[in-house]
């Protein structure tokens, strides 16, 4: 065989698997048809968060008078924001390139397709070559899927890839999909000044969130001027002058919405096209490539990780699966604890969650304790002018083990790791209570929520008996 390990796809799952393989002594080749970093780094997580910071800054400027700072009028230039975003992305892509080079990983810029379970054909700008390997990992990720309705391919119907490169702020933006991508981009462009409408088929946005978080966030988004239409399906898109007419339907009947652009953010599909999986005997369906608990496919020596196997499509899950997959095929004992994976949503305020929701605990017949603490009672949050939101903690009633943590408020994406580590390590209410949290910090709200599970929170009013 030419190589010990070939990885198809250079996103977070692929490049981290490659580096881990090199660390474990494997000869590794990484095949990527675009730029390393995948969707997350080039067209997803990082560019979105770069624009999120611009939006956050705009929001802060609107509130400067609260801090005694009078600015008068200010302007926002989208092209400058795009330039800054591109600089951030390019710096990180360059960093990944250097890491791969530093770990002696061969990187081939080309498109791979299977010839057999041990061989892939790679098409590059200079021709084709066949590569054989003892083990092959598929990490090709996912891409935006379109709802099959009339007019969905009209000009003006855009994906997240396109909106992340806008040089101007659209006046009217309709967003199809109230999931993470749709809600984040709705929040960002509403902050920039767009009139935003979210269209969501499910009865609530962010359907998998703890119900209380979803309801509260809906209230906050509406306060920011975002119109939210839940229980609403897209029926048709029509051209209208320079814009679009979006026809939607709910229990009240059909409605026509006028917008400049319709952002399609209603789901993603695994990238399996062109891989010629049949030639290797790899089983898959529309949900993705089928794997076992070791990420093995139906073909000997072929593995798959990340978005291409379906499930929860998060960059950090792909990364962890990539590393664990390599460790397993090298004979190490490793696993991904999916019960403790954090999920972060960059809205205003931020939302983050890990572990079970209340509905999931009830569905599994788990008796639990629930504790909650408000950011409005936290000194650090109030000094920041960000007292909105709360932390909710769920713990098993008998064992007191932490099983769920749900946060909406300032820096929720940073605080959630307190909760994830507690769940991963099966920490109890007592373990957290015995820890000392620095004051004044936002993490104190997590501590107070844990204490609230047993009625011992100091800075919360006692529950009425």
Q: Which of 118, 429, 398, 141 is nearest to 282 (CA)?
A: 118
Catalytic residue from among 153, 332, 439, 459: 439
Tell me the C-alpha distance between 52 and 346, whole Å. 7
400 has catalytic annotation: no
**Residues with catalytic function:** 439
């Amino acid at each position: 065989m030419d190589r010990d390990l070939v990885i198809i796809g250079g996103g977070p799952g692929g490049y981290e698997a490659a580096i881990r393989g090199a660390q474990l002594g494997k000869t590794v080749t990484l095949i990527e048809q675009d730029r390393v970093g995948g969707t997350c780094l080039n067209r997803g997580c990082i560019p979105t968060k770069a624009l999120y910071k611009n939006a956050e800054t705009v929001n802060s400027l609107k509130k400067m008078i609260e801090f005694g700072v009078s600015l008068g009028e200010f302007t926002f230039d989208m092209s400058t924001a795009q330039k800054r975003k591109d600089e951030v992305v390019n710096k990180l892509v360059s960093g990944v390139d250097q890491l791969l080079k530093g770990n002696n990983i061969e990187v081939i810029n080309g498109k791979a397709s299977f010839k057999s379970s041990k061989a892939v054909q790679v098409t590059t700008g200079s021709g084709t070559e066949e590569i054989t390997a003892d083990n092959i990992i598929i990490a090709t990720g996912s891409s935006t899927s379109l709802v099959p309705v009339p007019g969905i391919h009209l000009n003006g119907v855009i994906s997240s890839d396109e909106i992340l490169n806008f040089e101007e702020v659209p006046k009217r933006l309709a967003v199809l999909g109230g999931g993470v991508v749709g809600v984040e981009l709705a929040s960002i462009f509403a902050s920039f000044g767009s009139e935003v409408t979210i269209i969501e088929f499910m009865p609530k946005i962010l359907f998998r969130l703890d119900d209380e978080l979803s309801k509260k966030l809906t209230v906050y988004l509406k306060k920011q001027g975002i119109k939210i239409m839940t229980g609403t399906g897209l029926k048709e898109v029509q051209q209208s002058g320079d814009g679009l007419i979006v026809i939607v339907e709910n229990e009240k009947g059909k409605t026509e919405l006028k917008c400049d652009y319709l952002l399609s953010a209603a789901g993603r599909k695994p990238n399996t096209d062109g891989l010629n999986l049949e030639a290797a005997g790899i089983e898959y369906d529309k949900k993705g490539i089928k794997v076992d608990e070791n990420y093995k496919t139906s073909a000997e020596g072929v593995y798959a990780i990340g978005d291409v196997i379906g499930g929860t499509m998060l960059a950090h899950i792909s990364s962890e699966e990539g590393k664990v997959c390599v460790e397993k095929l090298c004979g190490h004992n490793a696993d991904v604890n999916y019960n403790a994976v954090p999920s972060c949503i960059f809205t205003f305020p931020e939302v983050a969650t890990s572990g079970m929701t209340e509905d999931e605990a009830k569905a599994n017949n788990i008796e639990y304790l629930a504790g909650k603490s408000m950011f409005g009672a936290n000194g650090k949050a109030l000094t920041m002018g960000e007292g909105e939101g709360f932390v909710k903690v769920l713990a098993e009633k008998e064992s007191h083990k932490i099983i769920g943590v749900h946060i909406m408020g300032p820096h929720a994406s940073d605080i959630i790791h307190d909760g994830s580590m507690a769940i991963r390590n099966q920490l109890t209410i007592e373990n957290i209570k015995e820890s000392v949290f620095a004051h004044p910090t936002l993490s104190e709200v997590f501590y107070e929520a844990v204490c609230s599970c047993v009625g011992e929170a100091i800075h919360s009013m006692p529950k009425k008996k």
